Amino acid sequence: MKEGNIVLLIAKDVSYLTEIRKGKLHTQDGIFDLNELKKKSFGEKIKTHLKKEFVIVKPNIVDILEKKAKRLPQIIMPKDVGLIIAYTGISPDSLVVDAGTGSGFLAIFLANYVRLGKVVTYEKNKKFAKIAKENISLSGLTNIKLKQKDIMKGIDEKNVDLITLDMKDAEKVIGHAYKALKPGGWLVVYSPYIEQVISVVKEIEKKNFSNVKTIENMVREWQIKEGARPKTIGIMHTGWLTFARKVG
Amino acid sequence: MKEGNIVLLIAKDVSYLTEIRKGKLHTQDGIFDLNELKKKSFGEKIKTHLKKEFVIVKPNIVDILEKKAKRLPQIIMPKDVGLIIAYTGISPDSLVVDAGTGSGFLAIFLANYVRLGKVVTYEKNKKFAKIAKENISLSGLTNIKLKQKDIMKGIDEKNVDLITLDMKDAEKVIGHAYKALKPGGWLVVYSPYIEQVISVVKEIEKKNFSNVKTIENMVREWQIKEGARPKTIGIMHTGWLTFARKVG
Amino acid sequence: MKEGNIVLLIAKDVSYLTEIRKGKLHTQDGIFDLNELKKKSFGEKIKTHLKKEFVIVKPNIVDILEKKAKRLPQIIMPKDVGLIIAYTGISPDSLVVDAGTGSGFLAIFLANYVRLGKVVTYEKNKKFAKIAKENISLSGLTNIKLKQKDIMKGIDEKNVDLITLDMKDAEKVIGHAYKALKPGGWLVVYSPYIEQVISVVKEIEKKNFSNVKTIENMVREWQIKEGARPKTIGIMHTGWLTFARKVG
Amino acid sequence: MKEGNIVLLIAKDVSYLTEIRKGKLHTQDGIFDLNELKKKSFGEKIKTHLKKEFVIVKPNIVDILEKKAKRLPQIIMPKDVGLIIAYTGISPDSLVVDAGTGSGFLAIFLANYVRLGKVVTYEKNKKFAKIAKENISLSGLTNIKLKQKDIMKGIDEKNVDLITLDMKDAEKVIGHAYKALKPGGWLVVYSPYIEQVISVVKEIEKKNFSNVKTIENMVREWQIKEGARPKTIGIMHTGWLTFARKVG
């Protein structure tokens, strides 16, 4: 393997994401000599100086987002991204428009999915755009185009398969989204507050959208060993997802 | 458009999936003359004899599964499929093994995702395999291989990225799954009953898996117009998803 | 036991509520000769003509509400009543004001609790008041006073321990409620729609209330025999409860 | 008011529970001169030396449990207590048996409800019994009898209206509970783990119980001001409640 590549080192209870480079990686489980990685392949093992063994694997997009990407508060969670993919039925060759980019998590996740297509993501905030750019670079994905502009002023793309909005005042973008979508294309709006949902649905109802549906999903993690029960404390709410499909 | 193609005809309140063929399609909204479709393109309109207007769009995989595929009871729902994709971070070029096929919904959904990869799905029940075969054919996807055999007797594939089990006695397949997975690959088991979860986790704990996690997710649909509130009646439970990642 | 008394006849799988009177009770499990009941005591048995055995027990308030009372749509459910009692900490000697009465379920439930106190319930709708009156009579409780008047015009009672509002435009009663409550007394508003919650909380914030809290509770029933899991279909939502405590 | 009485001092954002005694109460909001309280009545005001105003109110049982009682880990929560009262329909004159007492919260809560009846509570652990005794004394309730003995060895009471079990191995008490209950009386078992629920239901099925029902309830708190949404983090699980009614 080459310098500059990113690898995931996993053990039963812990894993580390690292770039292959000269030097050492200091961890709670001991020190890795990163030079060793150059002689290894995926699936092979490496030990820390404390003799703890790790397997070298190719990181996937979730590993990179979780362990390496810069985060902003209030990022959309995987459970919500999963619903967007599952409900809209988009395909690997779809064209997706996304705003606001924020840290870029949703754009990156969707771009990993539409490998034969493209994600265009709009972010007006310069600071956020900078963070997103770094995260996109980390992801290694080349089918994301980041536009530092305000989507409220219009959407350049036409014939879009999916538009995802995770931003304040999303209701003001519904008209632009309607125009940019192709017939049968989906709009998905993520809203942390119910007042936002109400405003968004009101605008959606003015256009020729079908299949308008608002959902929330709650994921409960369970502990199973030594007695099965849901974990006591957890995340009760992230946001609502509103789906609508352009008729044409 | 050609005879034999499948199209979706959508209006604000209803949509129909149909093959392009000679003859008529009788619906609650009037009669379509299907011959007309041959002269049209996606995005164009067609009217029933009652003058109700529909837009012609290319159906996606969800349209086909929902409107055309044969169903068996207890199929896994899109919300759960979404979580599998989102949590495991699989990519369009992944190799997936799935069992039991059942109606084939999960295999089809995953195959739509791994367009550059492959889904191999095992079903020992002849009747189910027949239904799944028809559904796979309907989907138009060519990267699904259906094996009519019992996965309890072993998994032929090696170096698998994701194995999904939605079957009774899934705990008896954990050993085979462990062998077939590549290091860093994911096992996901869908279990309607908590006793199944407990058995599965017990077997998983015997192998060198990391990131063992069991979750359930509850999706609540909301009504927004004329007062916002969750719909009164809904689906309280489908099944648990248990995730585990092979160390190696 | 005397004619006119109400008894509950229970078996493992079914139970019947009946008045003791001359004549027969026809049920799916056979015919009861009600005259027999006069010679029996609570805890004794009675058989139908099909030899199915039932035990005679004294019905409690839930039995009477469930099996005998007239219902209106949208009644508050026991789970929500339970929270009102548990969170406000009212006592058997409390004075409670309730509006609108509707079918009287909430008033009856609370009156069963405040046996040494009193529930005054306001209902402006004549038809509802008539139904509530019958249900109150059925309950046998004598500490409920039903007032057929509009609570929006004011609350006659002073120094109230608990005021429960389950009615449209409840936000217009907050001012009256504040005046009627004693310092440390609780206001609880039940709202099926979130817009109602928002309006109510806005009014509450204008007054000197503490401990303002809005909650929803979801009860899931489980099946345990032959595999443990939540029942598939159930009630996803009833209403929100907003609590507020008058400072003074 | 007299020395030794307990009062609650409430303001919009905070409240303090204190005994009336000589001396001062130091708080984050300033110092109260407790002597002043002797000249005051409920509903009157008192100020700290920082001029912050509080209203003097009579504390209810929830105030005392929340602010003064000694806690053990894993106490049953008010939401679950509310369901017990609401589903079983017990009355103020009911006889209740409870085990294990733990910190006594459930016994105290139920005793506040059955003011004209009695709660007998069993605790075999000496240390817990001591804590419960102090909490019962604090509550001021005189209708609770604490027995420091093991309920697995039998229940002394007969003709019981409600038996609540919140203890390990509760399945071993089902037989005793069945005998002690009167026909039509209710058994309620609180179980943090699903394996416990399964064991308990198995034992219940061996006896002549009707209305066997297991539920869990999830309470979500909402924030309403400045945007309405459920609070992000919260309690996902406490325990299951299993209800069963003795036929006879």
Distance from CA of A128 to the nearest CA of B (A): 23
B:C CB pairs within 8 Å: 57
Distance from CA of D188 to the nearest CA of A (A): 19
Q: Does D219 reach chain A within 8 Å, measured CB to CB?
A: no
C228 to chain A: nearest residue by CA?
A228
Q: Does D31 reach chain B within 8 Å, measured CB to CB?
A: no
C224 to chain D: nearest residue by CA?
D198
Q: Does B215 reach chain D within 8 Å, measured CB to CB?
A: no
A:B CB pairs within 8 Å: 210
Instruction: Note the Cα C151 to chain centre separation in Å.
Output: 19
Distance from CA of A195 to the nearest CA of C (A): 9
pLDDT of D73 strictly over 80: no
Contact list in D for residue C15 (CB cut-off 8 A) is 210
Average pLDDT of chain A?
A: 95
Which tens digit of pLDDT belongs to each residue from B126-183?
999 999 999 999 999 999 999 999 999 999 999 999 999 999 999 999 999 999 999 9
Residue C29: band (very low, low, confident or very high) from pLDDT cuts 50, 70, 90 = very high
Helices (H) and strands (E) in chain D, counts: 6, 15
Q: Does D86 reach chain A within 8 Å, measured CB to CB?
A: no
Q: Which residues contact B66 (CB under 8 A, 6 or more apart)?
A: none
CB–CB contact B57 A183 (8 Å): yes
Distance from CA of A126 to the nearest CA of D (A): 26
Residue A6 is predicted with a pLDDT of 93
Mean pLDDT along residues B86-102? 94
Q: Does C228 reach chain B within 8 Å, measured CB to CB?
A: yes
Picking from A190, A193, A237, A240 by the largest number of D CB atoms within 10 A of its own CB, the best residue to mutate is A237
Angle, in degrees to the nearest 10, between helices A78-88 and A105-113: 40
Residue C248: band (very low, low, confident or very high) from pLDDT cuts 50, 70, 90 = confident
Q: Does A194 reach chain C within 8 Å, measured CB to CB?
A: yes
Task: Report B:124-143 residues touching C (Cβ under 8 A).
Answer: none
Residue D72 is predicted with a pLDDT of 84
Picking from C74, C77, C237, C240 by the largest number of B CB atoms within 10 A of its own CB, the best residue to mutate is C237
CB–CB contact A232 D237 (8 Å): yes
Contact list in D for residue B198 (CB cut-off 8 A) is 195
Which tens digit of pLDDT belongs to each residue from B14-47?
999 999 999 999 999 999 999 999 999 999 999 9
Contact list in D for residue C248 (CB cut-off 8 A) is 10, 43, 45, 55, 57
- CATH topology for D65-246 is Rossmann fold (3.40.50)
Residue C2: band (very low, low, confident or very high) from pLDDT cuts 50, 70, 90 = confident
Q: Does A75 reach chain B within 8 Å, measured CB to CB?
A: no
Q: Which of A8-12, A130-134, C77-81, C172-176 has the lowest mean pLDDT?
A: C77-81
Q: Does C72 reach chain D within 8 Å, measured CB to CB?
A: no
Domain boundaries, chain C: 6-59, 65-246
**Do B145 and B119 touch, CB atoms closer than 8 A?**
yes
Mean pLDDT along residues B230-242? 96
Contact list in D for residue A238 (CB cut-off 8 A) is 232
3-state secondary structure chain A: CCCCCEEEEECCCCEEEEECCCCEEEECCEEEEHHHHHHCCCCCEEECCCCCEEEEECCCHHHHHHHCCCCCCCCCCHHHHHHHHHHHCCCCCCEEEEECCCCCHHHHHHHHHCCCCEEEEECCCHHHHHHHHHHHHHHCCCCEEEECCCHHHCCCCCCEEEEEECCCCHHHHHHHHHHHEEEEEEEEEEECCHHHHHHHHHHHHHCCEEEEEEEEEEEEEEECCCCCEECCEEECCCCEEEEEEECC
Instruction: Say which of C43, C58, C217 has its CB closest to residue D217.
Output: C217
Residue A39 is predicted with a pLDDT of 93
ipTM > 0.85 (yes/no): yes
Q: Does A86 reach chain B within 8 Å, measured CB to CB?
A: yes
CB–CB contact A233 D236 (8 Å): yes
Instruction: Say which of A195, A196, A236 has its CB closest to residue D234.
Output: A236
Q: Which of C149, C147, C151 is nearest to C170 (CA)?
A: C151
pLDDT of D13 strictly over 90: yes
Identify the CATH class of A6-59.
alpha beta
Residue C153: band (very low, low, confident or very high) from pLDDT cuts 50, 70, 90 = very high
Q: Which of C74, C99, C81 is nearest to C174 (CA)?
A: C99
CB–CB contact C86 D79 (8 Å): yes
Q: Does A227 reach chain D within 8 Å, measured CB to CB?
A: yes
CB–CB contact B231 C237 (8 Å): yes
